[in-house]
Amino acid sequence: MARHYLDHASTSPLRPEARAAMVAELAEVAGDPGRVHEEGRAARGRIEAARERVAALLGVRPRQVVFTSGGTEAINAAVFGAARSAPGRPIACAGVEHSAVREASARVAPVVELAVDRRGRIELASLEEVLDDRPALVHCQWANHEVGTLQPVREVAELCHAAGVAVHVDACAALGHVPVDLGALGVELASISAHTFGGPAGIGALVVGAGKRFDPMLVGGEQERGRRAGLENAPAIAGFGAAAQLLCDPGRLEAELGAARRLVAGLTEAACALEGVDVVGDPDREGRLPQLVCLGVEGVEAEPVVIGLDRAGIAVHSGSACSSESLAPSPVLRAMGVDPERSLRLSVGWSSTDADVEAFGRSFEPVVAGLRALRS
C-alpha cells in the first residue's frame, strides 16, 4: 500500500540537497573546528559557510546564529538566559505556546498568562496589562504549531520594546513556510529548527539580537563564541545550511508557499464537505500558515480517525491525548476553548503531491462515517 504523509508539521522528510550536504560532510576527514590545525580550520570553514546560509534566510548577521541540538534546546537556552538577566521577575506566556516554551519558563520564574482569542491569537490588550509588571521576557510564537494561526509578532515586539521588555519569538513552525525576517523584527531572542522544513533532525539555532548578551545554558567549552558548549554537529549543520540556502531564493519560497496553499485548500475542501467538520483557528487562510489546517470533527473522537486513516495509508496528527507521547490533551486547543479530543491536524511540505490530497479525499469520509455509525 502506498503511504501518504500529511504530518509535515511534526517533522518533514529530509530534502535531497540537505542529505547530499550531510553525506559530503561525513566523507570529510574529521577535524575539531576549535583547533588550529588544517583539519580543524577546514571544519570551521564549512560550519561558518552553513551559518552564513542560515543567517541569510533569517535576515540576520551570521554571528547572531548559535547552533543548538534543535528548537527545544534553543527555547530552553533563551529562557535560561533571560531569567538569569532579570532574576525574580515573571515571564509572560500564552497558553498556545509550545510546551517547551511553557515548561521551560515555569521552571525558572513565575509565569503570567497572556490571553488569546478563539483563533489562538494573542490579545494585545492583555499584553499591555502584563507589561506594567515589567516581565523578564515575553514569549510570542511566530505561528502556532497546531492550528497555524499567525501571531501579531511585529505589534508584540513594538509594545514590548516601548516598555523596555525583552521578547523571545519561537519561529520553529514558521521557518521555511513563510518569510521570517528576524533582522527587521529586532527581537532579543528567537528559536528555530531545521526538521520541519526539510532540514535534518537534531539541529536548530538560537538567534540572539545584535549586540545582546546572555548567560549560556550549556557550559564547559568555548564553542559558538562561548554561547553553547559542546562539539558542533557538523553534518547536521551542513544539512541545515543546504536546506536554508534553497529557500534563500524568494522565488523558491514563494513557489513552495503557493503549492502548500493549493494542497491544503484541497484537503480542507474534502474534509469540510462532510457535515460537522470545521476549520479550527483562523478560517482566513491569510491568517495562518499555508502548510497546515486543523479541523474539528463532530460526532467522533479524533484518535480513531487517526488510526482509521493510518490503516488507509495516510499519516495525520491530532491534539488528543492518545495521539502523542503526552498523557494530556493539547493545551493549545484547550487555551482556545476547543475540544482537543475532536481535532485533526493535516500538514503538507516540500515533498507533498496531489496524490496525497486525493488519497485523503477518498478515505476521510468513509472513516468518519463508519465511526459515527458505530456510535449511533
Tell me how far CA of residue 168 lies from CA of 33, 86, 120, 311, in angstroms: 29, 14, 18, 40
Specify whether 49 is located in the same domain as 134: yes
Is the CB of residue 340 less than 8 Å from the CB of residue 320?
A: yes
Our count of domains for the chain comes to 2
- The CATH number of whichever domain residue 114 belongs to comes to 3.40.640.10
Domain assignment of residue 240, given as a range: 16-247
Q: What is the pLDDT of residue 342?
A: 85
Q: What is the pLDDT of residue 328?
A: 61
Specify whether 27 is located in the same domain as 101: yes
Tell me which of 232, 247, 262 is where a domain ends: 247
Residue 322 appears among annotated catalytic residues: yes
Specify whether 125 is located in the same domain as 240: yes
Residues in the chain: 376
Specify whether 201 is located in the same domain as 298: no
Specify whether 224 is located in the same domain as 291: no
Going by DSSP bridges, is the β-strand pair 189-193/167-170 parallel, antiparallel, or unpaired? Answer: parallel
pLDDT in tens, the chain (376 residues): 799 999 999 999 999 999 999 999 999 988 999 999 999 999 999 999 999 999 999 999 999 999 999 999 999 999 999 999 999 999 999 999 999 999 999 999 999 999 999 899 999 999 999 999 899 999 999 999 999 999 999 999 999 999 999 999 999 999 999 999 999 999 999 999 999 999 999 999 999 999 888 899 999 999 999 999 999 999 999 999 999 999 998 899 999 999 999 999 999 999 999 999 999 988 888 899 999 999 999 989 989 999 999 999 999 998 754 445 554 667 787 778 777 788 899 999 999 999 999 999 999 999 999 998 888 6
Q: What is the pLDDT of residue 326?
A: 55
pTM of the model: 0.94
Specify whether 223 is located in the same domain as 280: no
Tell me which of 247, 262, 290 is where a domain ends: 247
d(CA 301, CA 278): 14
Task: Give the HSE-up count for residue 5: Cα atoms under 13 Å, Cβ half-sphere.
Answer: 11
**What does the angle CA 314 – CA 330 – CA 68 come to, to the nearest 5 degrees?**
85
CA-closest candidate to residue 136, choices 214, 58, 240, 26: 214
Specify whether 323 is located in the same domain as 353: yes
Q: For the chain, how big is the Rg over CA atoms in Å?
A: 21
Specify whether 91 is located in the same domain as 237: yes
Which residues have CB under 8 Å from 188's CB, separation 6+? 82, 166, 167, 168, 208, 209, 212
- The CATH number of whichever domain residue 282 belongs to comes to 3.90.1150.10
Q: What is the pLDDT of residue 285?
A: 84
Specify whether 120 is located in the same domain as 180: yes
Specify whether 177 is located in the same domain as 279: no
d(CA 277, CA 289): 20
Specify whether 105 is located in the same domain as 164: yes
Tell me which of 221, 247, 273 is where a domain ends: 247
What is the longest distance spanned by two Cα atoms in the chain?
Answer: 73
Specify whether 86 is located in the same domain as 201: yes
